[in-house]
Amino acid sequence: MAVRKKKRKNNNRMNLRAAVAIMVLLLCICCVGLIGYHVFRIDVIEVEGNNRISDETVIAYAGVEIGENILAISKTKIEQGLISDPYLTLDKIERKLPNTLIIHVKEQPVLAAVLYDKQYLMISQEGTVLEIAGDHGGSIQVTGLGVSAAVLGARVQGPSEYQLYVIKEICAWIDTLSVKDHLISLDVTDPTMMTMKTKTGITIILGTEDNLDIKKEWMESVLPRLIHEGKRYGTLDITGSSGANFIP
């Protein structure tokens, strides 16, 4: 009888010790969690890679706030938030412990401003509508593309794959020209006889996207002289194989 009581007493002590150990463990976990919550709270949010979009706008889209636990930040949540702006995609998030979060983004560059329904569609190289604006914002203006519909964040409807390819090629070529700041528009109504306009009103016959290196030489050798001479209007044909021809 005495042995049974002793065994029962020992079991009670072991149970008590186990309960105390569990309570201590839970208390430690709570303390660590509490300390972690306060130590790893976000105090600083930085944005890298943006140009057109402000830091404040990127942070608002990302849905991250000061005071959140930096270790609990979800990359997926930030990506979903940035979808709100077609210009933005998430590159990566960087945690500088204990309290600085850096959001690295990429901005899609504007390929061209396409005139549609008295507004300008700022499109990307893939033909995605990044913005619908009242002016071209300094981008090359494209006409004759045959746009049938446009939705923000979606690919522009109407143009063929070839038309978008041509625009991409020509806009990239224009960006290499030393006289690019004098150009204002590109007409692709007929891809075999494309034309451009200068800010002074001179029409430039570009033709197709072929032989762009030669056409670049004609453009850069003749157009500056015409501008220096104060020529307004007229037509500069750079499709010839032997040189450019200006018709007043």
The pLDDT score that the predictor gives to residue 45 is 96
The pLDDT score that the predictor gives to residue 40 is 85
The pLDDT score that the predictor gives to residue 188 is 94
Q: CB of 141 within 8 A of CB of 113?
A: yes
The pLDDT score that the predictor gives to residue 26 is 58
Q: CB of 163 within 8 A of CB of 186?
A: no
The pLDDT score that the predictor gives to residue 3 is 47
The pLDDT score that the predictor gives to residue 32 is 46
Q: Which residue has the tokens 């186990």?
A: 18
The pLDDT score that the predictor gives to residue 17 is 62
| Assigned CATH class of 44-107 | alpha beta
Distance in Å from the first CA to the final CA of the chain: 124
The pLDDT score that the predictor gives to residue 233 is 87
Between CA 25 and CA 21 the distance in angstroms is 6
The tens place of each residue's pLDDT in the chain, 248 residues long, gives: 554 555 555 555 556 565 555 665 655 554 445 455 556 899 999 999 999 899 999 999 999 999 999 999 999 999 999 998 999 999 999 999 999 999 999 999 999 999 999 999 999 999 999 999 999 999 999 999 999 999 999 999 999 899 999 999 999 999 999 999 999 999 999 999 999 999 999 999 999 999 999 999 999 999 999 999 988 889 999 998 788 999 99
Which of 142, 223, 145 has its CA nearest to residue 184?
142
| Assigned CATH class of 112-247 | alpha beta
The pLDDT score that the predictor gives to residue 10 is 55
The pLDDT score that the predictor gives to residue 75 is 93
The pLDDT score that the predictor gives to residue 208 is 94
Long-range contacts of 46-52 (CB under 8 A, 24+ apart): 46/100, 46/101, 46/102, 46/103, 47/102, 47/103, 47/105, 48/102, 48/103, 48/104, 48/105, 49/91, 49/104, 49/105, 49/106, 49/107, 50/88, 50/105, 50/107, 51/107, 52/87, 52/107
